[in-house]
Amino acid sequence: MTVATDRGRSLRRLAAADRRRSTRHKALPYLLLLPAVCFELLVHVIPMLVGVWISFKQLTIYFIRNWTGAPSAGLNNYRFALNFNNAVGKALLHSFYVTLGFTVLVVALSWLIGTGAAVLMQNPFRGRGLLRTYFLVPYALPAFSATITWEFMFQRDHGLVNQVIVHDLHLTSHAPFWLIGNNAFASLVITAVWRTWPFAFLVVTAGMQSIPTDLYEAAVMDGAGVWQRLRKITLPSLRPVNLVLVLVLFLWNFNDFNTPFVLFGNVAAPQANLLSLQIYDTSFQNWNFGSGSAMSVLLLLFLLVVTAIYLVATSRGRKAADV
Amino acid sequence: MHGLAHRRTTATIAAAAVAALLAACGSDTKPSTTTTGGSSGAPASGQSITYWASDQGSSIADDVKVLTPELKAFTAQTGIKVNLEVIGWNDLLNRILAATTSGQGPDVVNIGNTWSASLQATGAFLPVSSDVMTQIGDTGRFLPGALAATGAAGKPPVGVPIYSTAYGLYYNKAAFAAAGIATPPATWEDLVADGKKLTDGAGKWGLTLEAGQIPENAHAAFVFSEQQGGSWFDDAGKPTFTTPQNVAAIKQIVDFMAADKIVNPSDAESSNGTEALQEFASGKAAMLMWQPAGANLAKYGMTADQYGVAPLPFPASPPAGSKHIDSMVGGINLAVFANTKHKDAALQLVKFLTSQPEEITLNKAYGSLPSVSDAYSDPAFKTSDDTVLQNVLASSATAMPEIAQESQFETSVGTAMKTLFADAASGKAITDAMVGDALNQAQQKMEAGG
């Protein structure tokens, strides 16, 4: 009895000492974090706030030199961007739909190709390492040089694509345009998928490393085929990885500027005019940084809402699955 | 206690960092007013200034090769070092805007003269007052036409011209002879008729256009509208894009591809500013409307005896109000950033680059025309081609609208034309309604610029 109470008392004392020490030391991690937080503020948050601030300003050529003195625009920049009867608002809405279609297609295709390739590479075979490295090449190439190569290939008269389609395979007699007109959208999706899928491949491959092999062995013993193993083991185990992967791919592609800019230059075909390019046009071509910022803020808000809904929806799904 | 002190230090450091950043931003954005005093202070010798040159040659490397020895001579003469950066056309305006916004820019910069009034409105450049003009040694040497394209009327200009250009119609002599055409077309009707003879449906075309390039499109829009008796802005500076004259002008240009079929539809993709030159130099197209192209054509293997130059054609029966204009006043101006800390040194460089020997050397190298009258004594500018372009510049060229919205006009109309060309290339017939709609949208977008 006494031994027990003694032990209880000493344990309580230890816990109390621990608590005292922990209050003293609780501040330390925050202190260590502080420089990083400050730099985060400097690098991310302050420019973002400046961007939001600019979106309420009438920042045109007359004020860019002394932009702190730009007159207030109130909500005009927002009203203007969301006035869908006006050419700018109409173009913005159109770009929004184009961007949505583009992003959904690129994410879906990149995920499918990436996951497919990762599944095929799951079991060891001769040359697997080499092939894996090879698959990552598009991802490792600098965005600019990769996209400009596609631009050359898509040219109507001298491009490789038409060379193959028209002159080698004789699929059509009339050489199609790829960089202007309706096909511009397809060119954009192809280039973006080519650039994005290796990342999906990389992430899914990494996710597969954590699936225990005995699960597969047990499944084989029970007579599960390839398709069943994929559906019952691989995909469910990859669920957390996929949740993050799809979100990241969505955000990247929705914001993608490099691909359309390098492929089409300042001015894209209306069929392939992504939001980021539209915002760039407003800011740098029309010299209206206020309304360009307002559009950026709207884009940010949209992505925040999508991300929030996605996270809530998927975490609810996870909880339900856990129960 | 130790923790608290530590926290306080960290907080102080962080606050200092934020303050330093804000202070840095603040000082960047404030226009420096101290430089207007100018000539007092340290002697310019030994200073080092930055010069952003536009891409005038066939490549940036080519420009560096042309300019480096000249700038060395300047350093030897004055003791002022010059850091040269040649900037491509697609980036130049953005770089200038960025420099304007941050206040961190070069000392001397080349600008396309059509941007003069737009950049003038930003206040980024040193106004060229009569004092400054005297300082750079002007004695009425600059060509009046070129000088008109240095800013809005009634305000001190924001630069001085260094290279001048005008549009001419380049034609392939051998192709014309083979098609039995004796003289270059003087009317658009003739040009279309000749173009049809020169188009063989097997890879040879009558005319080539840089149809995907915004400034080229906008320059054409300006000239064709003048000839139709139209104008892109009214006297109050309000855009008038959708007038029947402007619609007719744009339709006429796009119809070279859509209706007359004398332009290769692939030209709708040409946007880097060299494709049309190459098409012409390689003989795939027999006519080209271009600013002085001799130096570049030579680089693509076309010798001067293979082509001729004529003024751009004119309507056979000019509509009411038509002006006899066949080119915009093209060219490059030299401007000094208002923020420069080396105003004297910068102005000395401007003086040097616009001096008679430099005007001769540089314009000869680039194939452009001198912007000062005394440089024309050199025989290099007395060739028949140059004489044609000089006459155009002196008698039938006019400056693009010298208003703040000019660069937005170029962007919005040039873009609308690019889209119309894309439609034409895909085989669609271009109607007045389509052109009117495209121009209406362009105008709304331009007005959005504020």
- Say whether B278 sits in a helix, a strand or coil: helix
Contact criterion met (CB < 8 Å) for A31 and B10: yes
Measured CA to CA, the distance from residue B326 to residue B311 in angstroms comes to 7
- DSSP conformation class of A69: G
H helix or E strand, kind and range, residue B163: strand B160-165
Q: Percentage of residues in chain A with pLDDT exceeding 90?
A: 43
B264 CB neighbours in chain A (<8 A) are 157
B94 CB neighbours in chain A (<8 A) are 284
A312 and chain B: CB distance < 8 Å anywhere? Answer: no
A31 CB neighbours in chain B (<8 A) are 3, 6-7, 10
Measured CA to CA, the distance from residue B29 to residue A66 in angstroms comes to 5
* Closest in B7, B26, B408 to A286, CB measured: B408
- Residue A7 confidence (pLDDT): 65
Paired sense of beta strands B285-290 and B205-208, if any: parallel
Q: Which of residues 178-217 of A touch B (CB under 8 A)?
A: 179-182
A155 CB neighbours in chain B (<8 A) are 269
Q: Percentage of residues in chain A with pLDDT exceeding 70?
A: 90
* Closest in A24, A157, A287 to B408, CB measured: A287
A265 CB neighbours in chain B (<8 A) are 90, 212, 271
Query: Distance from A106 to chain B by nearest Cα, in Å?
Result: 25
* Closest in A66, A157, A287 to B31, CB measured: A66
ipTM of the complex: 0.80
- pLDDT by residue for chain A (323 residues), tens digit each? 455 556 666 667 766 666 666 666 778 888 888 998 898 888 888 888 999 999 998 888 888 888 888 888 888 889 888 988 888 889 899 999 999 999 999 999 999 999 999 999 988 889 899 999 999 988 888 888 899 999 999 999 889 999 998 888 888 888 899 999 889 999 999 999 999 999 999 999 999 988 998 898 899 898 888 889 899 899 999 999 999 999 999 999 999 999 999 998 878 888 999 999 989 888 877 778 888 999 999 999 999 999 999 999 988 766 555 54
Contact criterion met (CB < 8 Å) for A68 and B26: yes
A253-269 per-position pLDDT tens digit: 999 999 999 998 878 88
* Closest in B21, B101, B422 to A64, CB measured: B101
Contact criterion met (CB < 8 Å) for B31 and A65: yes
**B121 and A62 in contact (C-beta within 8 Å)?**
yes
A31 and chain B: CB distance < 8 Å anywhere? Answer: yes
Place of tokens 């005093």: B37
A41 and chain B: CB distance < 8 Å anywhere? Answer: yes
- Residue B40 confidence (pLDDT): 42
- Beta sheet of B168-172, edge-to-edge order: B205-208, B285-290, B168-172, B307-310
Q: What is the largest CA-CA distance in chain B?
A: 99
Measured CA to CA, the distance from residue B210 to residue B198 in angstroms comes to 19
Which residues are registered as beta bridge partners of A205?
A: none
Pick among A82, A286, A289, A293 to test the B interface (most B CBs inside 10 A): A286
Contact criterion met (CB < 8 Å) for B415 and A27: no
Angle at B7 between CA B2 and CA B9, to 5 degrees: 95
- pLDDT by residue for chain B (450 residues), tens digit each? 344 444 444 444 444 444 443 433 333 333 333 333 344 445 678 899 999 999 888 788 989 999 999 999 999 999 999 999 999 877 888 899 889 888 888 999 999 998 899 899 888 999 998 889 888 887 789 988 888 889 888 888 999 999 999 999 999 999 999 999 999 999 999 999 999 999 998 889 999 999 999 889 999 999 999 999 999 999 888 999 999 999 999 999 999 999 999 999 999 999 888 899 999 999 999 999 999 988 889 889 999 999 999 999 999 999 999 999 999 999 999 999 998 999 999 999 999 999 999 999 999 988 899 999 999 999 988 888 889 999 999 899 999 988 888 888 998 999 999 999 999 999 999 999 999 999 999 998 887 665
**A297 and A81 in contact (C-beta within 8 Å)?**
no
- Residue B23 confidence (pLDDT): 39
Token pair of A90 as six digits: 């109409």
Measured CA to CA, the distance from residue B333 to residue B139 in angstroms comes to 18
Paired sense of beta strands B307-310 and B168-172, if any: antiparallel
Contact criterion met (CB < 8 Å) for A269 and B422: yes
Residue type, B274: T
Query: Distance from B38 to chain A by nearest Cα, in Å?
Result: 20
Sign of CA dihedral A15, A20, A21, A27: positive
A58 CB neighbours in chain B (<8 A) are 450
**B400 and B406 in contact (C-beta within 8 Å)?**
yes
A177 and chain B: CB distance < 8 Å anywhere? Answer: yes
Query: Distance from B317 to chain A by nearest Cα, in Å?
Result: 35
Query: Distance from A253 to chain B by nearest Cα, in Å?
Result: 25
Token pair of B309 as six digits: 């130059």
Contact criterion met (CB < 8 Å) for B269 and A180: yes
* Closest in B118, B407, B418 to A267, CB measured: B418
- Residue A191 confidence (pLDDT): 95
H helix or E strand, kind and range, residue B208: strand B205-208
- Residue B102 confidence (pLDDT): 86
Token pair of B144 as six digits: 């009046």
| Residue pairs spanning A and B at CB distance below 8 A | 132
pTM: 0.83
| Crossing angle (nearest 10°) for helices A46-54 and A289-322 | 130
| Number of CB atoms found within 10 A of residue B20's CB | 11
- Residue B271 confidence (pLDDT): 86
B124 CB neighbours in chain A (<8 A) are 65
| Minimum Cα–Cα distance from A157: chain B residue | B266
How would DSSP label each residue in B281-304? HTTSEEEEEESS-HHHHHHTT--G
Measured CA to CA, the distance from residue B354 to residue B139 in angstroms comes to 12
H helix or E strand, kind and range, residue A226: helix A226-229
- Say whether B335 sits in a helix, a strand or coil: strand
Measured CA to CA, the distance from residue B173 to residue B179 in angstroms comes to 10
Token pair of A202 as six digits: 């990389």
Residue type, B170: Y
Measured CA to CA, the distance from residue B287 to residue B195 in angstroms comes to 8
Contact criterion met (CB < 8 Å) for A34 and B14: yes
Paired sense of beta strands B48-54 and B81-87, if any: parallel
Q: Which residues of A162-187 are buried (b: 16+ CB within 10 A; e: fewer)?
A: beebbeeeeeeeebbbbbbbebbbeb
